[in-house]
Amino acid sequence: MKVLIDEQYRKFLIGDNLDKDLQLDFGVLSKDQLNAAQNGDVLQSHLGKKVFVLDASFVDIFEKIKRGPQIITLKDAALIAAYTGISDKSIIVDAGAGSGALISYLGNVVKPSGKVYSYEVSDEFIKLASENIKDLNLQDTVIIKNKNIYDGIDEKNVDMLSLDLPEPWRVIEHANKSLKIGGYFVAYLPSMTQVQIFVSALTKNYRIEQIFEDLQRNWIVRGQIARPESMMLGHTGFITIARRLY
C-alpha cells in the first residue's frame, strides 16, 4: 500500500493495484500514474496540485484497520511490548483476537522468527482479524485459532500471554502450564474492579510487575500556537503485568 500526501499535508492510504483513477480534493490522478508511483515520487494531479508518494508504514495501515470490537490502541500495545521485552524470538499467546489490533502490533515486533497465537471464539471476528492481519502481511507470524482460551492453551514455553477478554482469571491455571518460568502474563481490562479480581486470583507464583493506565495528550504546535489538542484519547484500559516465578 502507498500513502499520498497532498499540499495541505493531508494523508490518503491507497492500494497497490488500482483499477480506477483516483479523484480527491486535489484533483484526479490516473490509475497508471498511481500504480507506477514509487516511494519519494511527487505526482501532479490534473489540477496541477502536487501529491507526495510514500510507501505505507505499519502505522499508516494500522490506523485504517477495520474495526469490530474495541481495539487496543497503539499507545497501550507499545507499552505492553516495551514492558514485556518481546523480541523477534518471542512466542506469544493472546486472546481474544477481536479486530486483530494488538496481535498485529505484537506480530510486527516478533516477526520474522517469533509467533503470535491468538484464540478467538467468534467466527465473525476471526474473519475480520484475519483480513487485517493479511493487509499488514503478517499471516506467517500471527496464527488465529478458533478456540476458547478458558478451555486451555495448546502452546508450551510461551514468553508472553496477553489477554483482552472479560475474565482473565479463568486462564491462570492454563497459564501455569504454558507460560515459561520468567514469562509475562498481561491482562488488559477496562475496569479496576476486574483488575482487583484478577490480582487477587493470581497465585503466589506470580510477581506483579506493574499495574498502570497511560494517557496520551497530543499537542498542536503551529506558528504562535502551542497548546494541547482539545480532544484526547484518555482512559482506554488498565494494564496489569505479572511475571511467572515458578
74 counts as binding ligand SAH under rule CB under 6 A: no
Comparison of 24 and 74: residue with beta carbon closer to ligand SAH = 74
| Sequence-separated (6 or more) residues with CB below 8 Å from residue 69 | 96, 98, 99, 125
Contacting ligand SAH within 39-58 (CB under 6 A):
none
In the complex with ligand SAH, which residue's Cβ is closer, 44 or 146? Answer: 146
User: Rounded to whole angstroms, how far apart are CA atoms 33 and 85?
Assistant: 43
User: Residue 71, interface with ligand SAH (CB under 6 A)?
Assistant: yes
Please, which residues have CB within 8 angstroms of residue 231's CB and are 6 or more apart in sequence? none
Q: How many CA atoms lie within 13 A of 100 on its CB side?
A: 32
**Which of these, 27, 118, 122, 113, lies nearest to 72 by C-alpha position?**
118
- State how far the Cα of 204 lies from the Cα of 43, in Å rounded to an integer: 61
CB of 167 to ligand SAH, least distance (A): 8
**Of residues 161-220, those binding ligand SAH (CB under 6 A):** 164-165
Binding segment (CB under 6 A) for ligand SAH, from list 5-13, 67-75, 153-161, 211-219? 67-75
**Contacts to ligand SAH from residues 121-150, by CB under 6 A:** 121-122, 125, 148-150
- Under the binding rule (CB under 6 A), the answer on residue 238 touching ligand SAH is no
Number of residues forming the site for ligand SAH (CB under 6 A): 20
Radius of gyration of the chain (CA): 21
Q: Which is nearer to ligand SAH, 148 or 205 (CB)?
A: 148
| Kind plus residue range of the DSSP H or E element containing 141 | none
Residue ranges that bind ligand SAH, judged by CB under 6 A: 69, 71-72, 95-96, 98-102, 119-122, 125, 148-150, 164-165
